Structure 1
Amino acid sequence: MPGHLPDATGFALTATPAGSAAEQPGTACFATAGPTTAVTLRAGDWLWTGFLVSPAGSTPLPGVATDGPTTVLLAGELYNQDELVRAVGDPKLADAGDAWLLLACLRRYGPHAFRLVNGRFAALAADGGVLVAATDHCGGVPLYLAVGAASVSVATEAKALPTMADGPHGQAVTGLRPLRGTGAVHQVPAGGGVVVEAAAGRPRTRLLRTWTPPLHRRHLPEEEALREVREALDRAVRSRLRTGPAPTAVLSGGIDSSAVAALTASACPGLRTVSMGTDLRDEFREARLVADHLARAHPGPAATGGHTEIRIDTADLLAELPWTIWASECTDPDVVEYLLPLAALYRRLPADRPLRILTGYGADIPLGGMHRDADRLAALDDAVAHDMETFDGLNEMSPVLSGAAGHWTTHPYWDRDLLERLLTLEAGLKRRHGRDKWVLREAVADLLPAETVRRPKLGVHEGSGTTSSFTLLLREHGVPDERIGAAKGAVVRRLYDRLVAGGAHPDEIDLGQETKAALHRPDAPGIEGGTRGT
C-alpha cells in the first residue's frame, strides 16, 4: 500500500458471465466515505460492473490487480505479507501492494489461498470462469452476496447491493444467512468464501471455509504464556503500522487499549491518543494517566503526539444511534450499544485528515473479560467458546463505523495469529490469582503504570454511560424498566429497516418519531398506555 490507508475500503459489484447481458451500474449507497469510482471491468470470464470506494488520492482502480485470466479486488489490507511472499517465492511482491500479493497467492493455491491470509479485508476474485467472494477470518470487513438467475452481486455494505433497492429476489445460498427482510441477500460468514461457477450461464455456488475458531486449549508455564502473548501482541500491532502520518490509538485507560497504545508508541514515533466520555461518565483520569506515562517513556524524537479528550452530551450521543446502525448494519441491541460511543467518537475526529486508528476492541472475547460472574474455570471457558460461536454476523469489527467519517480502524486483538494464541490458552491463565485477563496484564506490566495493570475490568458500557442514555430515551416514551431490553431491540430493528433495508439516510431520521413507531407496532414490547406486548 503506497499510503497509510488501504487502497480500497469498499465495493459493490455485479459479476455477469462474459457474453451475457451485462447489468449497467446505476447508483450505490455507501456509508463509507471517500471517492466512488464507477467500474466496468473484464475479469477472467466475467464482466464486473459497479463501484469502488477508496480514500482520497488513491489509484484510478483502487485495490484491483489483473494478470491474464486472474483479477483480484481487495478492500482492506493484509498483515502477513512476509509469509505470503515466501509462500509464492517472489521477493518482488513485497513492494507490489496487497492486491497483487493476493493475486499471486490465488494463482498458486486457487481459492484455498484465503486459508493463508491474515488480514482485515473483503475480496472478490475471478480466475477464468471461477468467481470467489471472501472475507477475513473474523468477518472484519463484512461481505454480502446475492445470486440472481445469471449474475452475482457482491458488496461490503448490504445497503449498496442493487437487490436491496429492487426488493427480495434471487437464489438462496446454502450455508449463508439471509439478511433481515430479504431472502435474496446473504452475509458471507467470517472465515468463509463463496465459490461461484457459471454453469450453462446460471451461477452455481458452494461455501469455502477458510478459518474456524480453535476449540483445543494449551496449558503453558506462566513465563512461556506471558512471553508468547507479549510477542504476538507486539507483532499484531507492528503489522498494522504504515508509512505516513502517525497513527491514533483509542485509549480508555483499561488494560486492553492501554497495552495497544503502549506497544504502538514503542514502535511508532508521534502516536496520538484519544479518549471519549459523556456528561454521565468518563474515564479521562485513567486514560490521561496512561498517556502521560507513555509521553515520559518516549521522550525526544520518539515522543508521542499528544492526547485528546472528547466529551459528548448524552443527547448528542444518542443522536448517533441512526449513524451507528447505518454503518454497522447490525440488529443486535447489545452490540449496537457497544458500538455507539465508537461511532460517535470517530465522527468527532478531524474529517479533513483521514486517520489510521488502532483500538483495544475485542480483547474481552478471547480472554473472557466480560464474564466476571463465571465462578469456575470451566464456566469461563464455556463462555469464551460460546462467544466465539456467536460473534459472526454482528459486525462488531466493521471498518464502516470509522469509514463513515473517512478513517480506517484496525483491532490488533483480532489479528488471526494473536487470536488463536489467546483462545487456546487454558482458562486458568485468563483468570489467575483472582484477576481477570491475568495473562495480558502481566505480559505488558512493564509498559504501563501499576494502577492501570491492576485496574478492575469495567463493563462494556460503564465507561461512557451508553446504556443510561438509551434507557433514558425509552423511559421518556413510557417503557417500564422490566421492558427496557426488549424495547431497545424493537427500536434497533425499526432503525435497521429504515436505514439499511429502506435506504434512508441517518440525517433523515427523527429518532423520537422512529422510537414511538417501533414501540407501537403490534409485536412491540408493552409500554404504559397499552400497546400489545410480546
Structure 2
Amino acid sequence: MGGPPITGFSIRITTGEPQAGDAPTLTATGQAVAINVPAGGLHWSGWALTASAPIPSADGVTVVLAGELYHRDALRVAIGPSADGVNDDAELLLACWLRYGAPGLRLLDGRFAAVVTEGDTVVAATDHAGTVPLYVRHGQDGLAIATEAKALRHGGPSEPLPGTESVPGNTGVRRVRAGTAVAVVPSSGKASAIRTWLPPEHRIVLPEEEAVRRVYTVLDEAVRSRLDGGPVTVVLSGGIDSSSVAALTRQSGVETISLGTDAGDEFEAARTVADHIGTRHSEFRVGSEDLVRQLPWAVAAAEIIDADVLEYLLPLVVMYRLLPGAGRRILTGYGADIPLGGMHRATRRLDSLDTVISDDMNTFDGLNEMSPVLGCLAGHWTTHPYWDRSVLDVLTALEPGLKRRHGRDKWVLREAMRDLLPEATVSRPKLGIHEGSGTTSVWTSMLLDAGVAAADVPRAKRAMAIAIHDRVVGQAEPPADVSFDDVLRDVIASPSLAVVK
C-alpha cells in the first residue's frame, strides 16, 4: 500500500438532517466515497478520498482519520489490552480516545488530520506540525471540516474559533493550528482548544559523540516507521538531508529520483549517492520555463500565497507529476533546514543562529510545506522523516553549537551520517532545490523579460501567487485551466500594482 486508507476528506456535521451535496472539488486525486453516519445527536455527511471509508465508532465516539500514525507499537502499549491486534490507525485513535479522551491526542506521533465526535461535541485535530492541513467553517447550520480550504469556499458567515486562524482569500474559512485540537458543540457554539505539541524552546547540552548518536537513532527510527513493506521512492538531490533519508531506508527495491532543468541540476551528486547505497535511480529533466509555468499546480496543492515557499515546493510538485504510475510511497529529506538552521548559512554568531531557528520553528505553521496534497495531486503519498515529532524534539532542542561546529553547517547531522554516505556528500555545501533546479532565477528572468523592474520582482511574484490563489483556491478552478502567462499579463497590466518599468 502506497498511502493510508484515507488521504483527505470534506465533512459536514450537523444536529439535524444531513444535506445532500456533490463530491467536493479537491486538488488531491482519489476515489471520493460518501460518508453518511449518524453519531449520537450528530450526523456526519460528506466525502473521503479513499478506496474504502471505514468510520470506526464505539461507546458513542466516532472517528475519521486522514493520514497515518508512526508509533503504533508504543501506542498499543500505552493504551493497553483494548488496542491488542488493532492495526487500522483510525481504530487505534478510537481506542486511544476511549482510554484518554481528548488529551490522548498528545500521545500521537503521525501525519494526520482527524475528526472525533463524542456526545454533542466535535473535535477537529491536526498532527503536531500540521503536516496535514485542516480547515473549518463554523456557522448556525453546523460545522464543515476539510483537508483542503477550497472544499469549504461556499457557506455563510463563520464564527471565529479558538485554536484557529483565518485563511487568506477565504472569508469564513479557518485553519486549525499545528499541534492543536479544537472542540466545538454545534448546538450551542461553545468552543475550546488544547495544544497537543509545541516546538521546544529549551536547549540540550550534549557531548559530541552522544549528540551524533542521538540524531542517528531518532532519524533512523523515523525513516523505518515510514516503511510499510511496499515499494519506496526517495526524492534525492545528493545533499546531506535527502541522502541521509535514502541511506537509512536500507531495504531492497528502493528507487531514488532527481529532478533537473536546462537551468540547473544536481544529477551528478545524486548519482554518487545512489551508486554508493545501491538504489535504482531515475532522473527527470524538464524545461525550466515549463517548470515555472506549473505554478498553478503548486498553489492549488499548498493553498498559500508565499512566493518564497512556493519556489521550494514547485520543483517537488513537478517531479511528482512526472512520475509514472500512481500510488507511490515517497520519502523526502524536506524540512531539515528549519530545526538545524540550514537556511541561515551566513549567520555566524551562535546566539543569532539560535534566535533564527527559534523564530523559524515558531512561524512554520500555515506555510503548508508538508501538505500531502503536493503528492496526492498526482496520486502519491509523501512523508517527511525530519518532521517526525521525535526528530523535531531532538533537532530543535540541540544547542546551536552542535548545529554550527568546526566551521560546518548542520554539523551534527553530517557526522551522524558519515559512515553511511560518501565523504563528498557529507561535506557537500547546502543547495536548496529551488536553487539547484533554477526555479527562483528562471521565474525572476521571466518577469524581467516581461518588463517587470528588478526592484519589483518580489512584489510581482507575490501578486501572481495571490491572483492564482484566488482562482484555484477561492474559486476552485482546476489548475490546468489557469495559465501562468495570462496571470503574468494581468499582473503587469494592473494599475494598482505598478510593477512595470
Q: TM-score range by the shorter chain?
A: over 0.9
Task: Name the residue aligned to 1:300.
Answer: none
Equivalent-residue separation in structure 1 for 2:380 and 2:118 (angstroms): 32
Task: Name the residue aligned to 2:318.
Answer: 344
TM-score after normalising by structure 1: 0.92
Deviations, residues 89-128 of structure 1 (Å, cap 9, x unaligned):
0275444310000000111111111111000000011112
2:27 aligned with 1:31, yes or no?
yes
2:2, 2:381 within 8 Å by CA — same for their partners in 1?
Answer: no
Task: Name the residue aligned to 2:399.
Answer: 426
Structure 1 pair 525–363 and aligned structure 2 pair: CA distance change class (3 A): farther
From 262, 265, 270, the counterpart of 1:282: 265
User: 1:301-450, aligned counterparts within 5 Å?
Assistant: 304=279, 306-351=280-325, 353-450=326-423
Equivalent-residue separation in structure 2 for 1:215 and 1:96 (angstroms): 34
Per the TM alignment, residue 204 of structure 1 is displaced from its structure 2 partner at its CA by: 2.0
From 6, 9, 16, the counterpart of 1:8: 6
Equivalent-residue separation in structure 1 for 2:255 and 2:498 (angstroms): 44
From 135, 159, 177, the counterpart of 2:165: 177
Equivalent-residue separation in structure 2 for 1:522 and 1:93 (angstroms): 65
Task: Report the residue type matching 2:195 in the other structure.
Answer: R
Task: Report the residue type matching 2:375 in the other structure.
Answer: S
Per the TM alignment, residue 281 of structure 1 is displaced from its structure 2 partner at its CA by: 0.2
Equivalent-residue separation in structure 1 for 2:37 and 2:236 (angstroms): 42
From 217, 221, 224, the counterpart of 1:231: 217
Task: Name the residue aligned to 1:47.
Answer: 43
Equivalent-residue separation in structure 1 for 2:493 and 2:162 (angstroms): 36
SS, match of residue 37 in structure 1: strand
Structure 1 pair 131–156 and aligned structure 2 pair: CA distance change class (3 A): same
Deviations, residues 125-153 of structure 1 (Å, cap 9, x unaligned):
11122211000011100000010113000
1:518, 1:524 within 8 Å by CA — same for their partners in 2?
Answer: yes
Task: Name the residue aligned to 1:69.
Answer: 60
Task: Report the residue type matching 1:293 in the other structure.
Answer: H
Task: Name the residue aligned to 1:301.
Answer: none
Per the TM alignment, residue 390 of structure 1 is displaced from its structure 2 partner at its CA by: 0.9
Per chain length, whose mean CA-contact separation is higher, i.e. which structure has more relative contact order (CA < 8 Å, sep 6+)?
2
2:164 aligned with 1:191, yes or no?
no
Per the TM alignment, residue 522 of structure 1 is displaced from its structure 2 partner at its CA by: 4.2
SS, match of residue 203 in structure 1: coil
Task: Report the residue type matching 2:19 in the other structure.
Answer: E
Task: Report the residue type matching 1:277 in the other structure.
Answer: G
2:494 aligned with 1:517, yes or no?
no
Equivalent-residue separation in structure 2 for 1:65 and 1:322 (angstroms): 36
Task: Name the residue aligned to 2:242.
Answer: 257
SS, match of residue 185 in structure 2: strand
From 144, 154, 165, the counterpart of 2:154: 165
Task: Report the residue type matching 1:255 in the other structure.
Answer: I
From 127, 149, 168, the counterpart of 1:136: 127
Per the TM alignment, residue 394 of structure 1 is displaced from its structure 2 partner at its CA by: 0.6
Task: Name the residue aligned to 1:269.
Answer: 252
Per the TM alignment, residue 25 of structure 1 is displaced from its structure 2 partner at its CA by: 2.5
Task: Name the residue aligned to 1:506.
Answer: 479
SS, match of residue 172 in structure 1: coil
SS, match of residue 52 in structure 1: strand
Equivalent-residue separation in structure 2 for 1:243 and 1:287 (angstroms): 24
Q: Which runs of 5+ in 2 are unaligned?
A: none
Per the TM alignment, residue 517 of structure 1 is displaced from its structure 2 partner at its CA by: 1.6
Per the TM alignment, residue 526 of structure 1 is displaced from its structure 2 partner at its CA by: 2.3
Per the TM alignment, residue 23 of structure 1 is displaced from its structure 2 partner at its CA by: 2.4
2:428 aligned with 1:455, yes or no?
yes
Per the TM alignment, residue 527 of structure 1 is displaced from its structure 2 partner at its CA by: 1.2
Task: Name the residue aligned to 2:113.
Answer: 122
Equivalent-residue separation in structure 1 for 2:163 and 2:491 (angstroms): 31
- Worse-matched range after superposition: 437-446 or 511-520: 511-520
Over aligned residue pairs, what C-alpha RMSD do you find? 1.4
Q: Which runs of 5+ in 1 are unaligned?
A: 296-303, 529-534
Structure 1 pair 182–250 and aligned structure 2 pair: CA distance change class (3 A): closer
Q: Number of aligned residue pairs: give it.
A: 501
Deviations, residues 350-404 of structure 1 (Å, cap 9, x unaligned):
13x3100000000000000000111100111001001011110010000000000
Deviations, residues 147-183 of structure 1 (Å, cap 9, x unaligned):
011300000001112xx134x5221223421112333
From 462, 465, 472, the counterpart of 2:438: 465
Per the TM alignment, residue 256 of structure 1 is displaced from its structure 2 partner at its CA by: 0.2
Deviations, residues 215-246 of structure 1 (Å, cap 9, x unaligned):
000110000000000000000000001023x2
TM-score after normalising by structure 2: 0.97
- Worse-matched range after superposition: 450-459 or 400-409: 450-459
Per the TM alignment, residue 73 of structure 1 is displaced from its structure 2 partner at its CA by: 0.4
Equivalent-residue separation in structure 2 for 1:183 and 1:325 (angstroms): 18
Task: Name the residue aligned to 1:207.
Answer: 193
Task: Report the residue type matching 2:115 in the other structure.
Answer: L
1:486, 1:525 within 8 Å by CA — same for their partners in 2?
Answer: no
Task: Report the residue type matching 2:59 in the other structure.
Answer: G
1:324, 1:401 within 8 Å by CA — same for their partners in 2?
Answer: yes
Task: Report the residue type matching 1:448 in the other structure.
Answer: L
Task: Report the residue type matching 1:409 in the other structure.
Answer: T
Equivalent-residue separation in structure 2 for 1:336 and 1:44 (angstroms): 43
SS, match of residue 9 in structure 1: strand
2:56, 2:63 within 8 Å by CA — same for their partners in 1?
Answer: yes
Task: Report the residue type matching 1:16 in the other structure.
Answer: T
Task: Report the residue type matching 2:36 in the other structure.
Answer: T
SS, match of residue 516 in structure 1: helix
Equivalent-residue separation in structure 2 for 1:65 and 1:380 (angstroms): 46
Deviations, residues 328-349 of structure 1 (Å, cap 9, x unaligned):
1011000000000000000001
Structure 1 pair 247–183 and aligned structure 2 pair: CA distance change class (3 A): same
Equivalent-residue separation in structure 2 for 1:436 and 1:193 (angstroms): 35
Give runs of ≥4 in structure 1 deviating > 4 Å: none
Per the TM alignment, residue 421 of structure 1 is displaced from its structure 2 partner at its CA by: 0.2
Equivalent-residue separation in structure 2 for 1:380 and 1:103 (angstroms): 41
Deviations, residues 4-51 of structure 1 (Å, cap 9, x unaligned):
42000000000002xx24322233011111111111111233101111
Deviations, residues 496-527 of structure 1 (Å, cap 9, x unaligned):
01110012111111221111222333442521
- Worse-matched range after superposition: 175-184 or 472-481: 175-184
Per the TM alignment, residue 482 of structure 1 is displaced from its structure 2 partner at its CA by: 1.2
